[in-house]
Amino acid sequence: MIFGILSKIIFEQTELVKLATEAIQKTKEELEEKPEEETQLMNFLNSKSKQQMEQWDIKDRIATIFEIKKVIIKKNLMLNLEKRCQSI
């Protein structure tokens, strides 16, 4: 009885790790593993004037920087998840 329950738990955990690993791979492919570029782009946009941004047809600096930050956060989450999966 206990062995059956433990086997089921181990199987479920293995499946979850497998799903997490697949999600990590998909995220890596989407993000192309370039965290330095996002940070540099964010710093670059922060240093430019409103007029310069308009010349590049960037109408909303805050929204653009927010999108870059979302990518950085997603990468960090993916890296943390990957570390946890490897430790299991």
> Does 33 have pLDDT greater than 60?
no
- Determine the pLDDT at residue 34: 62
- Determine the pLDDT at residue 13: 79
| Type of residue at 51 | Q
- Determine the pLDDT at residue 61: 78
| Burial of 78 from C-beta contacts in 10 A (0-12 / 13-18 / 19+) | buried
| Type of residue at 50 | K
- pTM listed for this prediction: 0.52
